[in-house]
Amino acid sequence: MLEFLKQNYLDILQKTSEHLYIAVMALVLGIIVAVPLGIVLTRTKKISNFVIGLASILQTIPSLALLAIMIPIFGIGKLPAIIALFIYSLLPILRNTYIGMTEVDPNIVDAAKGMGMTKMQSIMKVEIPLASPAIMAGIRLSGVYVVAWATLSSYIGAGGLGDLIFSGLNNYNPNLIIFGTIPVTILALFVDFLLSKVEKFASKKARLEV
């Protein structure tokens, strides 16, 4: 096993960096889209159930099926994998952003208005900071999901640690399976740990805001 690692560590590092790139890009896109959309939905509650329901439906599509759907549209490689994982990342972030914003104490919002804040100022300086713990919890959940699901992107030529795992399964090579699975697990634990720290910081800051 150690001999295998010595001979293949560069390939393992390359696959790990590919895996991390796909996951991070998908998560960043999810944050960019889902957080503002979740905030907007709190102002247009008539369509909020429809939009969140649609995101829920998209997440129920089997991973391989969604990746397969991406191929005729975007071809093979990293782009379709990132888009598919981006779709999967939306629901937890969107739902938590919506819940976090709606659970902000209305009295605090009224106090902000009384101080002369505009709606945008109230959102940016009061509501988002107070909702940030819930938002970060959704981002944390999506982060772990995306790292795990990025393994399947190997099936559409996106690379990543899935290449090692599925190559090991196809060729009955335990070393490939082990050194593909362990980095995925470490990445998922690292992302969860890192985002948990950000979540705790957001919670602490929110308590200070109150």
Summarize the confidence of residues 113-134 as an average pLDDT. Answer: 87
Per-residue pLDDT at 209 exceeds 70? no
Alpha-carbon distance of 24 to 143, in angstroms, equals 8
Per-residue pLDDT at 38 exceeds 70? yes
How many domains is the chain built from?
A: 1
pLDDT value, residue 140: 94
**Candidate ranges 61-65, 85-89, 204-208; pick with highest mean pLDDT:** 85-89
Q: What is the pTM (predicted TM-score) of this model?
A: 0.90
pLDDT value, residue 119: 85
pLDDT value, residue 188: 93
Per-residue pLDDT at 208 exceeds 70? no
Least confident of 137-141, 188-192, 202-206: 202-206
pLDDT digits (tens, 9 = 90+) for 86-122: 999 999 999 999 999 999 888 888 888 888 888 888 8
**CATH number for position 135:** 1.10.3720.10
Cβ burial, residue 155 (10 Å; 0-12/13-18/19+): middle
Per-residue pLDDT at 63 exceeds 90? no
In sign, the C-alpha dihedral spanning 97, 65, 28, 24 is positive
- Tell me which residue of 13, 15, 25 sits closest to 142, measured CA to CA: 25
Cβ burial, residue 198 (10 Å; 0-12/13-18/19+): middle
Domain boundaries, position 84: 2-209
pLDDT value, residue 65: 86
